[in-house]
Amino acid sequence: MIVETDGLTKRYGSQTVLAGLDLKVTEGSVLALLGPNGAGKTTAIRILSTLTRPDGGTARIAGFDVVREAAKVRGVISLTGQYAAVDEEQTGRENLVMIARLRRFTRPASRARAAELLARFDLVDAADRRVRTYSGGMRRRLDLAMSLVAQPRLLFLDEPTTGLDPMSRTTMWDAIGELVREGVTIFLTTQYLEEADRLADRIVVLHNGDVVADGTADALKNQVGGTRIDLDFATALEAGRAEALLGGVRTESRLSVPSDGSATHLHRVLDDLLAAGVRAERVSTHRPTLDDVFTGLTTPAVAA
């Protein structure tokens, strides 16, 4: 386990931000911490990256305690925070060389590493311009490049694409995907279900400082109620006859029937209709999106 937390708590005044977080992340995987603003995502990342002390519980990164062995933890991780922490009045190259020098690269090695990362993140043309002139996407790419100067085993990404336009977001996703293929463990937070769905092997949904769901994107979708079959009929009368036969929920000439998503079940539904002489015009199946999952898990007392 590269990340292992046990009952992690953090409160600010009377507000509980983390209410006993238990997490395990295996090396080489991608975990997305998903949740609305104020769910405790950033606090979790801040504790795991040694920036903030927890009030209770323990957290270990690569076996090192984040409080007592912070220096060792820092040797393993890199952090890309919520705001691109780049120096506006330095150029992209200067920012990278600075980090390399801080990481004890020699001067020539620093320059070489900076050049390599500029090329990799498509910043060669802007390398010697001040960051002040960069677009949001370029800043984020530089920010990510700065986190990769010394190759980390574990990379924290706190809302890596918040505020980016769709094009820049896709570019960031590609860059992150490439890191995954290189075997870097990634721990990211996001408010975007699409992002979690696309990047993560495992999604942990956080709400009010607690884990409300944990699993693969598919598992989460299944957990919230599975697939439904929508049947459209020529008339409401026909739909009514189908309802008497199959149950489900009817709206005008459409009947929605819950399903386990298997082909067998779909077959049976259609066979039953055929046998009863009720003719459906159209049929479609719907898998819940992660948005449905999210709403279902984080909205209290929703009727199923």
Residues that bind another protein (CB under 8 A): 46, 49-53, 71, 74-75, 77-79, 81-85, 87, 89-90, 94, 98-99, 101-104, 130, 146, 156
SS3 content of the chain, % helix, strand, coil (to 5): 40, 30, 35
Query: Given the complex with another protein, which of 104 and 181 has the nearer CB atom?
Result: 104
Distance CA 202, CA 214 (A): 7
Distance CA 75, CA 233 (A): 63
Query: DSSP per residue over 86-101, as a string?
Result: --TTSBHHHHHHHHHH
Distance CA 21, CA 33 (A): 12
Query: Given the complex with another protein, which of 85 and 127 has the nearer CB atom?
Result: 85
CB of residue 292 vs another protein: minimum separation in angstroms? 34
Query: Given the complex with another protein, which of 94 and 230 has the nearer CB atom?
Result: 94
Query: Given the complex with another protein, which of 143 and 197 has the nearer CB atom?
Result: 143
Tokens standing for 199?
A: 């990047």
Angle between helices 107-120 and 92-102 (to 10 degrees): 130
Side by side, the strands of the sheet bearing 202-207 are: 77-80, 154-158, 185-190, 30-34, 202-207, 210-215
How many of the other CB atoms lie within 10 Å of CB of 262? 11
Distance CA 224, CA 295 (A): 10
Distance CA 212, CA 214 (A): 7
CB of residue 43 vs another protein: minimum separation in angstroms? 10
Query: Given the complex with another protein, which of 86 and 220 has the nearer CB atom?
Result: 86
Query: Given the complex with another protein, which of 131 and 280 has the nearer CB atom?
Result: 131
CB of residue 75 vs another protein: minimum separation in angstroms? 4
CB of residue 192 vs another protein: minimum separation in angstroms? 20
Query: Given the complex with another protein, which of 53 and 282 has the nearer CB atom?
Result: 53
CB of residue 224 vs another protein: minimum separation in angstroms? 35
SS3 state of residue 27: coil
CB of residue 208 vs another protein: minimum separation in angstroms? 20
Q: Which residues are 280's β-sheet partners?
A: 233
CB of residue 52 vs another protein: minimum separation in angstroms? 6
φ and ψ at residue 170, rounded to 5 degrees: -60, -40
